[in-house]
Amino acid sequence: MELKLDLLKLEEIDNENIYYENLIKSHLKKIIPDSFLFNDYLIEENIKKFSLFLNEQLPIIKWSELDQNSSFSITLFCKYRQNASSFFYDMVSRYLIFQKTLDISLFFSIDFKFSDISDEKFSIIEAKINIEKEDADQIINNKKAIETEIRLGMLSDYHANRIREFKGLSYDRKTAMVQDKIGSLIQKRPKEFEKNIFSEMQQFLIMSRDEFKSQRDYHHISRIISILYMIRKLLKQNIKNFPNKRHVILKFLKTKLKTNSEEQNVLGVLIGINFVKEHEIFEKRHLIKAITTYMPNVNIIEDSYFVDKLEKTFIQTCYLEIQKKDLSDFSKNEIEDLKNELPAYLKSNVEHLIHQLFMPRNEEEIVKNMVMLSHQLKYIHDIPQVIISFDKQTSAELIFNVVLLRVLKPSDIPLKEIILKVEPNIKFVIEREKKVGVIRRKYLKEANVFRAILDSSKYLRSDHTLDTNKARSDIVDELNRLFSEVRDYNGGMIFKQNEAFKKLKGLLGKLDEHNDLFLEKFFYSIIPVEMTAIVNLEILKNLFLMLVNAVKREETRIKKHSDFLFKQDFKNIYFIIPIYDQKKKKEIKEAVECINVLSSECMSFYLSSHDVYYLGYVLMSEDKIKQKAFFDVIKKSLNSLT
């Protein structure tokens, strides 16, 4: 409504809007000072004073006296702002008395302009409230605080929303505020945020529990939705450019969690990842393990996990909040460490679902092993002979077949009594006992066939593969404990390898979990296999350190087919070659095989890291002619593919 300043005079105005004009005039009389009731001619000086008053004094709040019906009114005169009336209604009805909703018997809002001054709009809002007499004192005590909050909320939507958040906004109203925030993002940044963000917002709001939304302000929820949207958009772009590569995008959001009227420091972790093969999974447990690997002193915020998996595009986004156990804030360095370490760890630790094997046991092989071990027992003091072979894997167990032969002496107790002493982490199930021979016509050879059953969860590595080598080693250790000593007939090379691997780890010093697993993959990929047990460990150390440097360099440089790393000393020459094309690998291997070197002089490996394969060689020869020939052959093979 257009309102002239002369309406502030007490004259009657005869037109169709007389009711509303008189209503505005009567309220303004109650609110503004008498000096601005212009009964004189409207001179320019008075208009300037009134304009200054409106700019400096608004918003103004007036309270009426409590009448005999225990009701009073609150009137607000302010500059127009969208949603001002709903904010004012919430403040006087829900928050005037703590944890009590008051009865509003009358509520109205009128918007108008002073056409003599400007086109700026103003509002008068009034609420008439009925209360119980015992509430009057509490309202008087809260009066000043409510006035301050109302004035602050009238200044901007931001302050109004923050006040509502602090006081506990209803879920429906918070959802509406999130929608408004996302809508404003589309208007301000239409190139980055398209309208399809609304469907993803709806998905997030539906999947999120009410407790999650109530403890987090609308601004933080909006940021989660918008960042997850941008992560998905960027992942799609990366996949388009490099479709066969795994991509990980990581973001962090520091925020405060409201619980029991307290605020606690938490860190939100937002992750986007793509799957490159079928039957790959990445779940909450994988994310928690990754985070706690690098930051063990944190707790996971309950019910903070959100996941959205797009089946058609093989894209998954996740959100999870963590909190320090001592409740302190996360430092910039701690967040930076997570940002640097987690992507590489996550890329290597996506779990692959595989079908269980159906592989009936070969009884002929069992009998053959019994005969073979029987020939090893020639004297009464020979220690028990054992052959251990992997049988099968179930959803919860690893099962091995064990064939054990021993020479029975009068003091020996039956196997069924011995296995009662087995440690609880391993279970032995006897299948058969058989006498297979005699020594000195007096001492029987006893063959025992049984199964060793272990909890598979104890042998799950960080990349979600099962370490059967470690499980087998535990079985051998348990048999040595039960029988004082046994001979692992088919585990000689395994024992030597395990021994060499431990020494190699000792040479390299303390490694983080990611490099520890990478070292194991490197060690067991070496060809010929026997070289791991007999080669000088300094050579393996040098080769592995070169590989780690190659992986780090590969993440930051432009990839070229002719690139490779090499190192030469008096006795050895080392090569690390990134492989982007399998033809390249084939040509290099064929060229190396044509060189006249002994199998004991050359060692190689082939493995992948971060979706890039690496081929490595070591020529262990002091012959400089051989070293040069080896170098020339590899370089020529690489150049032929550029």
Each residue's pLDDT tens digit, 230-275: 999 999 898 888 888 888 999 999 888 876 667 788 999 999 998 8
Confidence (pLDDT) at 593: 81
Confidence (pLDDT) at 171: 55
Q: Cα separation of 289 and 267, whole Å? A: 16
Confidence (pLDDT) at 343: 85
**Is residue 609 assigned to a domain?**
yes
- Three-state SS for 451? strand
224 in the same domain as 246: yes
**Is residue 358 assigned to a domain?**
no
306 in the same domain as 271: yes
User: What are the beta bridge partners of residue 389?
Assistant: 401
CA geometry: angle at 40 spanning 38 and 45, to 5°? 75
**Is residue 213 assigned to a domain?**
yes
The residue-averaged pLDDT of 570-587 equals 84
**Is residue 420 assigned to a domain?**
yes
143 in the same domain as 159: yes
Contact present, 316 and 310 (Cβ < 8 Å): yes
What pTM does this model have?
A: 0.56
The residue-averaged pLDDT of 19-44 equals 68
Q: How many helices (H) and strands (E) does the chain have?
A: 20, 21
Closest C-alpha among 96, 94, 105, 37 to residue 61: 96
pLDDT at 639 over 90: no
Rounded to 5 degrees, φ, ψ at 131 are: -135, 170
User: What residues contact 130, with CB distance under 8 A and at least 6 apart?
Assistant: 69, 70, 71, 102, 103, 104, 105
User: What residues contact 379, with CB distance under 8 A and at least 6 apart?
Assistant: 407, 439
Q: What is the 3-state secondary structure (H, E, C) of 502-541?
A: HHHHHHHCCCCHHHHHHHHHHHCCCECCCHHHHCCHHHHH
Q: Cα separation of 158 and 477, whole Å? A: 66
pLDDT at 118 over 70: yes
367 in the same domain as 276: no
User: What are the beta bridge partners of residue 446?
Assistant: 406, 435
pLDDT tier for residue 41 given thresholds of 50, 70 and 90: very low
Number of domains, the chain: 4
CB half-sphere exposure, 453, CA atoms < 13 A: 13
**Is residue 354 assigned to a domain?**
no
Q: Cα separation of 465 and 488, whole Å? A: 25
Confidence (pLDDT) at 561: 43
449 in the same domain as 529: no
Q: Cα separation of 528 and 600, whole Å? A: 8
Q: Kindly report the average pLDDT of the chain as a whole number.
A: 81
Residue that terminates a domain, selected from 438, 467, 490: 490
Q: Cα separation of 30 and 36, whole Å? A: 12
Residue that terminates a domain, selected from 347, 372, 393: 347
460 in the same domain as 368: yes
82 in the same domain as 210: no
**Is residue 357 assigned to a domain?**
no
DSSP assignment, residue 10? S
285 in the same domain as 392: no
pLDDT tier for residue 181 given thresholds of 50, 70 and 90: confident
DSSP assignment, residue 396? S
Q: Is the pLDDT higher at 370 or at 560?
A: 370
* Cα→Cα distances 311→194, 240, 308, Å: 21, 16, 9
Confidence (pLDDT) at 560: 45
Confidence (pLDDT) at 172: 61
pLDDT at 12 over 60: no
Confidence (pLDDT) at 162: 66
Which residue matches tokens 């020869």? Answer: 621
Taking the alpha carbons of 23, 29, 30, 36 in that order, is the dihedral positive or negative? positive
Reported as a single tens digit per residue, the pLDDT across 49-104 is: 777 777 777 888 888 887 777 788 888 888 888 878 888 887 888 777 766 777 78
Reported as a single tens digit per residue, the pLDDT across 377-428 is: 999 999 999 999 998 888 788 999 999 999 998 888 999 899 888 888 899 9
Confidence (pLDDT) at 627: 85
pLDDT at 37 over 80: no
Reported as a single tens digit per residue, the pLDDT across 516-573 is: 778 888 988 999 888 888 888 999 999 999 988 888 776 544 444 446 788 888 888 9
Q: Is the pLDDT higher at 322 or at 636?
A: 322
CA 469 to chain centre: 30
Q: CB neighbours (10 Å) of residue 532?
A: 23
Closest C-alpha among 271, 239, 253 to residue 345: 271
372 in the same domain as 481: yes
The continuous run of DSSP H or E covering 302 comes out as: none
Determine the residue type at 525. Answer: S
- Three-state SS for 529? coil
The residue-averaged pLDDT of 16-21 equals 68
Confidence (pLDDT) at 495: 84
249 in the same domain as 188: yes
Confidence (pLDDT) at 184: 83
Torsion of CA 482, 485, 486, 488, to 10 degrees: 110
Confidence (pLDDT) at 66: 77
CA geometry: angle at 67 spanning 61 and 71, to 5°? 65
pLDDT at 303 over 80: yes
147 in the same domain as 61: yes
User: What are the beta bridge partners of residue 408?
Assistant: none
CA 67 to chain centre: 60
**Is residue 40 assigned to a domain?**
yes
**Between β-strands 121-130 and 103-114, what pairing exists: parallel, antiparallel or unpaired?**
antiparallel
418 in the same domain as 304: no
**Is residue 352 assigned to a domain?**
no
pLDDT above 70 covers a percentage of the chain that reads 88
pLDDT tier for residue 13 given thresholds of 50, 70 and 90: very low
The residue-averaged pLDDT of 458-475 equals 85
Confidence (pLDDT) at 296: 87
pLDDT at 476 over 90: yes
Rounded to 5 degrees, φ, ψ at 214 are: -70, -30
Residue that terminates a domain, selected from 471, 490, 509: 490
Q: CB neighbours (10 Å) of residue 527?
A: 13
Give the residue numbers spanning the domain of 221: 176-347
